[in-house]
Structure 1
């Protein structure tokens, strides 16, 4: 397995099976677009299959604030430390940013505790009709 932030190494054909449980998930084309358009993106690639098995994205102004909207690891690769490595890589990449925010469901908060993240309250809007991308 290898980790990279070079999105030139990633093609649409390497992406499949993400956003499990989403009623309307982004197509591989939209997923690649969101990865390439992110401020930073790291991917985990299974070198045996040449498939993306996990990824994390960040959006940022590059000065004071960053937001981590997505961390995804394919179900068959979960509980192998891949998500943790992706989070560590991203936090290291953003280590000069003042505030790094991440919004997650309450049941996932304990997962992020291990990265010294603090629980916080937030507000959000969800336009579910665009869940798969516009």
Structure 2
């Protein structure tokens, strides 16, 4: 497995199978756009299959705050330490930032506690009609 901090050599054809269980998942072209537009990214790339098998993104002001919106590993590559390595590498990239926030489901709290994160409260808005990243109006 190769870990990259950029998407320079990534094409939409390398981004299949993500956003599992999303009713309106982004298409690979939209997925690539969100990776490119992120402040920081770490990609897990399988050179044998020429595909991305996991990714993590951060959005940051590069001064005090960062938010980690996405961590995903393809289902067939889970439980191999890829997600752990992605989080570790992202936190290293953000080690000069005061606050790093992440929202997750309750069943993932213990996973993120392993990285020294603490549980907090949060508020959010979800516009599910925009989940695919494509305006449906």
Please classify the TM superposition score into its range, dividing by the shorter chain length.
over 0.9
Gap runs ≥5 in structure 2: none
Structure 2 length-normalised TM: 0.96
Quote the residue 1:9 is aligned against.
9
Distance 1:5 1:11 in 2: 15
Matched, 1:112 2:108: no
Distance 2:121 2:25 in 1: 26
- The C-alpha deviation readout for 1:19-68, integer Å capped at 9, x for no partner, is 00100100000000000000001100111001000000000000000000
CA positional deviation for 1:9:
1.7
CA positional deviation for 1:13:
1.1
Distance 2:20 2:58 in 1: 20
SS at match of 1:108: helix
Quote the residue 1:68 is aligned against.
68
SS at match of 1:48: coil
Matched, 1:57 2:35: no
- Give the alignment's Cα RMSD to 1 decimal: 0.5
Distance 1:109 1:29 in 2: 31
Matched, 1:132 2:127: no
Distance 1:43 1:6 in 2: 7
Distance 1:6 1:119 in 2: 29
CA positional deviation for 1:6:
2.0
Distance 2:13 2:22 in 1: 20
SS at match of 2:53: strand
Structure 1 length-normalised TM: 0.99
Quote the residue 1:22 is aligned against.
22
SS at match of 2:108: helix
Gap runs ≥5 in structure 1: none
